[in-house]
């Protein structure tokens, strides 16, 4: 007859479920430890996992004075980031089928993902770490000394800190000097060009046709690194004015290829999600979209 929503810290959600304080949880940014804790409760709860639509990426300062203004430096950075290692350590413990993300407008949970990826070969160019290739590109860009890269991320996220450490271990061998820059107010810093060189955070994919325009358009308010591309702008203008789904798909294939060729940013992985509920709850179904677990709450039932 009623549903009560409770605001609980993600770190306390599993305990609340085990204590019977709540019947359903959907903790954000779950880890292998989260999954293990839920499994440890036993048969009194049920666990659901899946590939979501929130994806982690590294944005790059491409402004006039930005470290990543030069395409060759962006390409070198892409070549040294150990993306598969990051997926293996931080995503596969939750979702064993997790893979490296190579697109920006589509996530693996969407049926169009494989078709778009096949049509945008540049998107898979940096699948493997290539330190020698990265070094060559840095030399071509005239970078003879290590290039400092201040990596901005949330000070409250241990996962972001650990990912930054992995990137440093690899990219410091390719001509960069990664400087971890955790900040409690990191969201406000995104608008402060000059205070960071790379920013590690996540976007929540929506599946909506034009929701990403403000991220990639040259004048977009969420284009924090000041990426500029006339071709990308033209594609977005056409996408935003198109209601033909088949045409949108073809336009986004071009868009994905262009964003990859120009290295708008470095995409890492799609977050694996967890939903858990007491065994007495029925019809709780995982949903990867922004609607969240309550998308079908009108169908839920709870045994006394």
Residue with tokens 């998107």: 123
CA separation for the pair 239, 217 (Å, rounded): 12
Mean pLDDT value across residues 48-57 = 93
Residue 198, pLDDT score: 98
Higher pLDDT, 205 or 295: 295
Mean pLDDT value across residues 170-187 = 98
Residue 28, pLDDT score: 86
- Joined together, the tokens standing for residue 136 give 């060559």
- Dump the DSSP string for 51-91: EEEEEEEEEE--STT-TT-SHHHHHHHHHHS-HHHHHHHHT
The answer on pLDDT for 304 being more than 80 is: no
Higher pLDDT, 215 or 11: 215
The answer on pLDDT for 11 being more than 90 is: no
Residue 290, pLDDT score: 84
Burial class from Cβ neighbours inside 10 Å (0-12, 13-18, 19+) for residue 302 reads middle
Q: Global pTM? A: 0.91
Instruction: Please give the mean pLDDT across all residues of the chain.
Output: 95
The answer on pLDDT for 285 being more than 90 is: yes
Cα torsion 121, 123, 127, 129: sign: positive
Residue 10, pLDDT score: 85
CA separation for the pair 101, 195 (Å, rounded): 27
- Joined together, the tokens standing for residue 219 give 């004048």
Residue with tokens 């413990």: 93
Strands 45-60 and 198-204: antiparallel
Give, for 215, the enclosing helix (H) or strand (E).
Answer: helix 213-216
pLDDT band at residue 85, thresholds of 50, 70 and 90?
very high
- Cα dist from 264 to 64, 75, 232, 259, whole Å: 15, 10, 10, 5
């Amino acid at each position: 007859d009623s549903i009560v929503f409770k605001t609980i810290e993600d770190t306390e959600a599993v305990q609340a479920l085990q204590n019977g304080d709540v019947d359903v949880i959907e903790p954000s940014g779950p880890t292998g430890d989260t999954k293990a804790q839920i499994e440890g409760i036993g048969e009194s709860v049920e666990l659901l996992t899946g590939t979501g639509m929130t994806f982690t990426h590294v944005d790059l300062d491409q402004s006039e004075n930005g470290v990543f203004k030069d395409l060759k430096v962006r390409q070198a950075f892409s070549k040294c980031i150990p993306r598969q290692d990051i997926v293996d350590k931080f995503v596969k413990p939750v979702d064993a089928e997790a893979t490296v993300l190579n697109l920006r407008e589509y996530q693996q949970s969407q049926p169009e993902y494989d078709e778009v990826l096949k049509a945008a070969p540049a998107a898979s160019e940096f699948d493997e770490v290539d330190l020698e290739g990265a070094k060559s590109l840095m030399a071509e860009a005239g970078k003879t000394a290590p290039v400092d890269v201040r990596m901005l991320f949330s000070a409250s996220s241990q996962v972001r800190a650990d990912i930054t450490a992995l990137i440093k271990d690899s990219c410091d061998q390719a001509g960069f000097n990664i400087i971890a820059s955790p900040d409690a107010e990191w969201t406000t810093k995104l608008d402060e060009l000059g205070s960071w060189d790379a920013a590690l955070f996540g976007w929540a994919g929506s599946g909506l046709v034009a929701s990403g325009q403000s991220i990639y358009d040259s004048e977009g308010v969420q284009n924090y690194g000041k990426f500029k591309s006339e071709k990308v702008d033209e594609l977005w203008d056409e996408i935003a004015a198109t209601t033909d789904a088949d045409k949108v798909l073809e336009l986004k294939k071009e868009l994905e290829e262009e964003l990859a060729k120009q290295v708008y940013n470095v995409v890492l992985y799609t977050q694996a999600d967890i939903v858990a509920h007491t065994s007495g709850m029925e019809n709780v179904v995982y949903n990867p979209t922004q609607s969240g677990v309550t998308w079908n709450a009108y169908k839920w039932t709870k045994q006394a």
